[in-house]
Amino acid sequence: MESKPLERWRTTISLIVDHPFFINTIMVVILINAVIVGLETFPAIYQNNEFAFYAADRVLLWIFTIEIVARLAGSRPVFSYFKSSWNWFDFIIVLSGHVFAGAHFVTVLRVLRVLRVLRAISFIPSLRRLVDALLMTIPALGNILILMGIIFYIYGVIGTMLYQDIAPDYFGSLGDALLTLFQVVTLESWASNVMRPVMELSPSAWIYFVSFVLVGTFVIFNLFIGVIVNNVEKAEDTGEKEHPTEVKDQQFYELQNEVRELKQLLLEEKRRRAE
């Protein structure tokens, strides 16, 4: 059992880190970090103020470190902080900033500064739900990816057989054909840059390209979208339910503290009456 002063200290820390002002402050710090990282991409600004950028990064990193330590201190028990995958993400991002702080890891360190911007996701519940929904779609997308791979392979082989001599730049090999089909399925200049040059030498080529666009884009991509939308709706329905275990634990400890305080008041009242 924890001592009362330690328990009160933990409760105070927990209330502080969950306070909207604290959360908004960390969000502002994350945005400042994003702005600084963006400014670093301008060589004229970065080279003339390299030390200032480094100092600002150290300050921001230690602010994030203090925040993580405070959240750990306010968790009951301490390791319950790591029940959330988002907390793991925050912890690893901040820890890696200290690990790669050496001068010979400057490039890695600058990349990690960019990744800190992703911490904004863990602070915005709606973004967390969206990312969780996208992660939920990964298993469901397996069969769609297999189907898409089969279609790409079939059309790639057919394209190589039919147009290898006509358009060697696009269909010279199976690899070139697959890359061409990827451009076609994105609908990026596929008609003017790919289909029409091939049609000049093979007028019936439109059948090949149009059928692939219909199957690859309008059917397969709509399957992708359907699965993603379905999972997003599920995530919204379940609503994350504010991670009930964490909320219940917090409410339990707050209620426990209130009961203790009430008991203390009753005991003091009894003593007064006895006197």
Q: Between residues 260 and 182, which one has the greater pLDDT? A: 182
CB 166 within 8 A of CB 200: no
What does the pLDDT look like over 68-87, one tens digit per residue? 888 888 787 777 788 877 78
The residues, any chain, with a CB within 8 Å of residue 147's CB and separated by 6 or more, are 220, 223
Joined together, the tokens standing for residue 178 give 């697959």
CB 98 within 8 A of CB 61: yes
b/e burial code for range 246-267 (CB count within 10 A of at least 16 → b):
eeebbeeeeeeeeeeeeeeeee
DSSP string, 119-187: HHHHH-HHHHHHHHHHHHHHHHHHHHHHHHHHHHHHHHHHHHHHHTTT-HHHHSSHHHHHHHHHHHHTT
What pLDDT is attached to residue 135?
Answer: 76
Give the residue-averaged pLDDT of 116-142.
76
What pLDDT is attached to residue 210?
Answer: 92
Taking the model in full, what pTM does it have?
A: 0.59
The residues, any chain, with a CB within 8 Å of residue 224's CB and separated by 6 or more, are 141, 144
Question: Would the pLDDT of 10 be above 70?
Answer: yes
b/e burial code for range 232-244 (CB count within 10 A of at least 16 → b):
beebeeeeeeeee
Q: Tell me the residue length of the chain.
A: 275
What does the pLDDT look like over 162-209, one tens digit per residue? 999 889 989 999 999 999 999 898 888 888 889 999 999 899 999 999
Instruction: Please list the helix, strand and coil fractions of the chain in percent, rounded to the nearest 5, in that order.
Output: 90, 0, 10
Average pLDDT over all residues of the chain? 79
Which domains, from first to last, does the chain contain?
4-123 (1.20.120.350), 128-240 (1.10.287.70)
What does the pLDDT look like over 25-53, one tens digit per residue? 888 888 888 888 888 888 888 888 888 88
What pLDDT is attached to residue 176?
Answer: 92
What pLDDT is attached to residue 171?
Answer: 93
